[in-house]
Structure 1
């Protein structure tokens, strides 16, 4: 019997499994596909490897969320190319989204407006981002579900950041409205793209703090791993196995039975016994696979989010290296029409074929569903 069985070999499942294995527990990862990666994965054709989905790693430098994860499981720092940012192409202007905060501060005022309202708005977002990026690196847990969580959150945020707690109930639209900027077409268009891509929500629904983190991920550091996501996953899975962990790919889970201390995970390749089961898969799938109490607990959230499901299409086009030689910014985001809703081509993120990337982060704020305590 394993101490823990982790359903899903994406970044969340692998991170959980590696941490548990490094702490001395026995773990097994059950991944339905032929290789790990999830929405930050890759596929191979002949001698080529292609990244798919979220393939730029965020905050993997020393002291960052990703950097702390690698250190905690005994891995060396991430090797890769640090990206300086990317360019957003709006219908009537371009905006360079610099990683460097000073350059970004100048660019946004020049390209999007330099009024007292604009300055006040960006100051609020900068403050939120500064406080809560640091809190995420200290392991803050959201939502707060216990006194211990509240104490930990207070310590992570710090006394100086406590006044920002009043923004927990705000959305990005609330912040724009409070500064009289909700009709600023270019600003709203840019923020909508960034929030959709990072928080997977809209300005009207995205919590302000989450949105502030999402639109400032460049400042936390965008890194293209050496060897792409294939290189990243090869290094992580090799290390996990060296720790003694078991990774079973091509092993879809059909259902989970039992209770804490004695779960049976039914797969197409046999039954796995585990004292605890962690589902690092989408909530609808967790509800379908888990025991009835799990489905009942998740039902309100599934009903709430039934209309919020989305997806994306990835297109691979070869670009000669010479076409992008010498260009500092090789990644681009495009918005075609302010008046049209995002989607169906109106919000695209692209880059050279060897450098295709979207933003992703290993963030401990996200906690997979745990079938036990």
Structure 2
């Protein structure tokens, strides 16, 4: 007898595993399918020779009181993995200077005064404005509206969540971060490079093309709380998955979905030639990855067009994973490198390095450290097989030379390299594109995709739908879907 599930969730990235756990908590009969050997997608992990590596060089956010993950774990009646507040978020190495990015606002403003004495007053006013705008945006986003609304009911719910502060921020909807810098007369090349590095890592673009409201959230989020997560972000996904199973949810690994079609109910077929039936399907993956598994009859009525998605720009990630001795000449766990402030923030000119804490035995044995380095790259450049190895080795050598110039790495025990080809293989994202779409200007927020599609019972979550890229945003997208499905019960 065929089991009829209430919801099938495809993928265990932050959006999918959040939706899965919340729906199971609400009593829904759920099945979650993961194609890979590991949970978490781009927030996953892998292990080599007693070292654990995070798929991407990233840190924890949203664990402060009132933060998304604090609320989520409380909602699920369980505890998050151990996290540690970072007083120093990261060291940012711009050309030959090092800017220490502090979590506490007052210490950060002192660092601004030290690093940029001529423009410090204007830069502090700029940040105060960003923090205020972020408060307004997050108070709205944390209410989990469906944006853009798809029905009259959704529109009504969105309007209920709008307050006067949000309305007063409307003029900023039509401005970029660059416009706000111009407003304050800020032109310092090093400071703008610093901002570009932060924005590329968080929202995939630089000041010229970053919407002011999106930039405000990105530039304030670390000051709400930046955390080292023991075991990496994958341990957060695993904690959510474990709670999901405790609540009665079913999880099957290494089962890749190859077809989604609809008859009376939704039918989801996998590479094992298993077909599962459900009232709702939640696809946790990039929008540009869904077309290869959607039935033609669904694609014909789908409001998002495949050809348009193929042309929509997105980044890939080039990563280096290193297991080394614990003799690093630095006390910071996170480092951002910007080699040349005048060049694009990609292809090794800008990269993020995260190193495991010396006490974290999940990441590395005693006396050893695990390092992940990540830079943005054009995903299309990596599919020329003849040039692949040469390009990979050249870029890795360039990045590692910059690292060695700052703090030499000695006694390396493991060194691995990942490209968009690697991400495509292990995370099943089309062409290895990661991090959501690249904003293309001040009005980019108006072109975001809703977690609710125009096809009844088909939902989206992840980094290519509202509210966007990053662990917090992806988790919120899954939470929005769980709320919306529960309303339809």
> Which range, TM-score by smaller chain?
0.7 to 0.9
Match of 1:314 in 2: 319
Q: Which residue of structure 2 aligns with residue 214 of structure 1?
A: 218
TM alignment of 1:229-308, pairs within 5 A: 229-258=233-262, 262-269=265-272, 270-292=274-296, 293-294=298-299, 296-299=302-305, 303=308, 306-308=311-313
CA distance in structure 2 between the aligned counterparts of 1:152 and 1:191, rounded to whole angstroms: 35
Unaligned runs of 5+ in 1: none
Match of 1:75 in 2: 78
In the superposition, relative to structure 1, how do residues 4 and 265 fare at CA in structure 2: closer, same or farther (>3 Å)? Answer: same
> How is 1:328-367 mapped onto 2 (pairs within 5 angstroms)?
329-352=332-355, 353-354=369-370, 356=372, 360-363=470-473, 365-366=476-477
Gaps of 5+ in 2: 356-368, 375-468
Give the distance between the partners of 1:251 and 1:360, measured in 2 at CA. 25
Asked if residue 29 in structure 1 is aligned to residue 32 in structure 2, the reply is: yes
Distance in structure 1 (CA, Å) of the matches to 2:162 and 2:112: 27
**8 Å CA contact retained: 1:41, 1:230:** yes
Cα gap change, 1:109 to 1:297, in 2 (>3 Å)? farther
Misfit runs of 4+, over 6 Å: 368-373
Q: 1:93 aligns with which of 94, 97, 119?
A: 97
CA RMSD of aligned residues (A): 2.9
Aligned residues between the structures: 368
The corresponding residue for 1:122 is: 127
SS of 1:216 mapped into structure 2? helix
Tell me if the contact between 1:171 and 1:203 (Cα under 8 Å) persists in the aligned partners. Answer: yes
Once the two structures are TM-superposed, the CA of residue 30 in structure 1 deviates from its matched residue by: 1.2
CA distance in 2, matches of 1:156, 1:114: 38
Distance 1:369 1:210 in 2: 21
The answer (yes or no) to whether the contact 2:146–2:154 under 8 Å persists in 1 is: yes
Displacement of 1:319: 3.5
Q: 1:74 to 1:357 in 2, by over 3 A?
A: farther
- The equivalent position to 1:12 in structure 2, one of 12, 15, 23, is 15
Check the 8 A contact 2:39/2:238 in 1, yes or no: no
Task: Using structure 2 for the length normalisation, give the TM-score.
Answer: 0.68
Shift of 1:347: 0.6
Taking the aligned partners of 2:80 and 2:253, their CA distance within structure 1 comes to: 26
Q: Note if contact 1:336-1:346 (Cα within 8 Å) is conserved in structure 2.
A: yes
Partner of 1:3: 6
Helix, strand or coil for the counterpart of 1:342? Answer: coil
* Greater mean alpha carbon deviation, residues 291-300 or residues 79-88: 291-300
Distance 1:304 1:47 in 2: 40
Distance 1:109 1:164 in 2: 28
**1:149-160 correspondence to structure 2 within 5 Å:** 152=157, 156=161, 158-160=163-165
Point out the more displaced range, 95-104 or 157-166: 157-166
Aligned to 2:188: 184
Q: 1-side partners of 2:481 and 2:160: how far apart?
A: 25
- Secondary structure class of the residue paired with 2:107: helix
C-alpha change, 1:262 and 1:145, in structure 2 (3 Å) is: closer
* Within-5 A mapping of 1:137-176: 137-145=142-150, 152=157, 156=161, 158-176=163-181
Greater shift in the superposed pair: 245-254 or 72-81: 72-81
TM-score w.r.t. the length of structure 1 is 0.88
Question: Is residue 41 of structure 2 the alignment partner of residue 38 of structure 1?
Answer: yes
Q: Shift in Å at residue 72 of structure 1?
A: 1.4
CA contact (8 A) 1:61 1:78 kept: no
